[in-house]
């Protein structure tokens, strides 16, 4: 316990020792109506009264003052939250505190010194208890003397992740609450399905790495990945990731479909303009194109020129023969 806290408690003892009976009763009622401390959770009203009787005597008028002082001294511990498995240890710690104060009272030790010492001792013991791996979900709360039910389910909802083929996919199994240092992670996978049915999954790897990097992401990675965070062979949390992979071929087909739909849905004027603009090219235009004189085009051109030459030659020969037939 810090010196400042000791000074506060001693000042509280001095103030309450000079208050009237009515003021003390009012103070005690205020203390009782506010958040309780672990001392109240693990001790009875009769035990606390007996402590005051040991310090001040059985017929003293300071019993209510003593009870209020005990309440205030242990109130900082009302924020204590421990794992449910540590409840028995917490109970034993406060059992020893009650016994310690009873011994001090019977030995007529100063009340203003015994109580801070008791608070200091129990704080040391509480510091050694596990706070619980799921602080915000499953723990024992001293402020209400009750076990808080788990509000975080073991199975987390599926997270949808959309990736293009070739991208890198990073999956993380970390959680927002505190976990043990000896935790392990088990990764599982089921192809093509978006599901939480564990019997469909097969194991991928097991170790201490909380993350999984997929690079590059392929079409075969399309499906649900699951990770299990385990501590001492118990599953603390299970997370699911549905990786929706779009293959490049499908992506290109989708672009073509979008282009086709855009053409079909274009207004009539645009179609007419397109028809006018996209008229058939002339021979000069075709021959001026850089890719026109390809191998096949050259062959066709040669054959065409040869055919025309033959036709011209035959025509000339025919004319010549016709002219010679009518000669003198």
**Distance, CA of 51 to CA of 57 (rounded, Å):** 10
**Which range has the worst mean pLDDT, 134-143, 167-176, 269-278?**
269-278
* Rounded (to 5) percent helix, strand, coil in the chain: 50, 20, 30
CATH number at residue 222: 2.60.40.10
Q: How confident is the model at residue 324 (pLDDT cuts 50, 70, 90)?
A: confident
Shared-domain flag, residues 56 and 78: yes
Q: Which of 192, 224, 246 is the last residue of a domain?
A: 246
Q: Is residue 144 part of a domain?
A: yes
Does the pLDDT at position 19 exceed 60? no
Note the pLDDT of residue 263: 79
Does the pLDDT at position 210 exceed 80? yes
pTM score > 0.85 for this model? no
> The domain containing residue 126 runs over which residues?
38-148
pLDDT, tens digit, for every residue of 247-289?
Answer: 877 666 667 778 877 877 776 555 444 444 555 566 566 556 6
59 burial level (CB within 10 Å; 0-12, 13-18, 19+) = exposed
Phi-psi sector, 186: left (phi>0), alpha (psi -120 to 50), beta = beta
pLDDT, tens digit, for every residue of 28-72?
Answer: 333 343 445 688 888 899 999 999 999 988 888 889 889 988 888
Q: Is residue 74 part of a domain?
A: yes
Shared-domain flag, residues 201 and 216: yes
134 to 237, 239, 280: CA distances (angstroms): 10, 15, 75
Average confidence (pLDDT) over 214-236: 90
**Distance, CA of 2 to CA of 76 (rounded, Å):** 13
Closest by CA to 118, choosing from 105, 130, 128, 131, is: 105
State whether the Cα torsion 32-34-37-41 is positive or negative. Answer: positive
Shared-domain flag, residues 42 and 140: yes
Q: Is residue 296 part of a domain?
A: no
């Amino acid at each position: 316990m810090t010196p400042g806290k000791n000074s506060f408690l001693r000042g509280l003892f001095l103030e309450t020792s000079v208050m009237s009976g009515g003021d003390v009763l009012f103070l005690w009622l205020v203390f009782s109506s506010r958040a309780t401390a672990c001392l109240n959770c693990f001790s009875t009203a009769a035990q606390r009264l007996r402590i005051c009787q040991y310090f001040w005597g059985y017929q003293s008028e300071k019993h209510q003052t003593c009870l209020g002082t005990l309440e205030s001294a242990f109130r900082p511990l009302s924020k204590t939250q421990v794992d449910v498995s540590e409840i028995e240890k917490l109970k034993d710690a406060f059992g020893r505190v009650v016994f310690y104060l009873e011994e001090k009272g019977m030995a007529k030790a100063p009340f203003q010194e015994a109580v801070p010492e008791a608070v200091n001792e129990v704080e040391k013991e509480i510091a050694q208890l596990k706070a619980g791996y799921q602080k915000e979900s499953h723990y024992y709360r001293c402020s209400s003397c009750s076990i808080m039910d788990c509000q975080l389910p073991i199975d987390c909802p599926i997270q949808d992740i959309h990736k293009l083929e070739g991208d890198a996919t990073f999956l993380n199994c970390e959680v927002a609450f505190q976990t043990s240092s000896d935790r392990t992670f088990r990764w599982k996978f089921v192809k093509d399905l978006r599901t939480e049915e564990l019997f469909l999954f097969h194991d991928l790897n097991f170790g201490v790495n909380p993350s999984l990097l997929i690079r590059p992401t392929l079409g075969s990675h399309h499906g649900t990945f699951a990770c299990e965070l385990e501590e001492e062979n118990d599953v603390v949390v299970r997370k699911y990731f549905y990786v929706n992979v779009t293959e490049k071929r499908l992506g290109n087909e989708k672009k073509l479909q979008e282009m086709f739909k855009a053409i079909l849905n274009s207004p009539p004027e645009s179609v007419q303009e397109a028809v006018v603009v996209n008229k058939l090219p002339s021979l000069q235009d075709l021959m001026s194109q850089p890719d026109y004189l390809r191998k096949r085009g050259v062959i066709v051109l040669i054959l065409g020129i040869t055919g025309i030459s033959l036709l011209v030659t035959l025509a000339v020969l025919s004319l010549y023969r016709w002219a010679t037939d009518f000669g003198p």
